[in-house]
Amino acid sequence: MKKIVIGITGASGIIYGISLLQALHSNSDVETHLVMSKWAKENLAIESTGYSLKEVKDLADYVYDEQDMGAKIASGSFQHDGMVVVPASMKSLAAIAIGLGDTLIGRAADVTLKENRLLIVVPRESPFNQIHLENMLKLSKMGVEVIPPIPAFYNNPQTINDIVNHNTMKLLDHLHIKNDQSLRWDGMVNAKKLIRQTQQR
């Protein structure tokens, strides 16, 4: 069974974290460990996701308080198959880049790095300033996978969920978890067929 750690920070776009949790929750071969920051919980109330805090927590197998530095995921001896910070605020990104570890999300990311395990960050900010870019470059040089939630339009998304699911597909792909979250590029001929089908709806 794969063990995946998910950190949801206070950046806008909490739906990306929820979407990943939903996809992993539906996979019986995956065990999830969730940490939500204080501002992630605030965003859940602000952004119209339709989910309560309890409903989000219920999607995870284990849930930890962001100040619980004694949690199992705070130790490098806890073996897991990857950690995703989604969405990742610029504050959390900076904390990870300098190894601050002042919250459980930062500490869990820090031990993920020191144990040479997979770490994925989903930075949600626009535009990026030089500090943001330098932090992402620093993390990338350490092997962190930086996957910003940039929408694709070749698959003709019809809803916000279509756009969100495309990003979730990418995260699952990089976690090496098979999925069919979104339509994939299948060549120009098939893309034209898809466009015609969409227009006929």
Quickly count: other Cβ atoms within 10 Å of residue 175's Cβ.
21
Residue ranges of the binding site for FMN: 10-12, 37, 89-92, 124
Is the distance from CB of 159 to CB of 182 less than 8 angstroms?
no
Residue ranges of the binding site: 10-12, 37, 89-92, 124, 154, 170
Residue ranges of the binding site for dimethylallyl phosphate: 154, 170
Integer CA distances (angstroms), 130 to 124, 136, 137, 146, 148, in order: 15, 10, 10, 16, 16
Is the distance from CB of 118 to CB of 83 less than 8 angstroms?
yes
Ramachandran bin of 32, using left for φ above 0, alpha for ψ from -120 to 50, beta for the remaining angles: beta
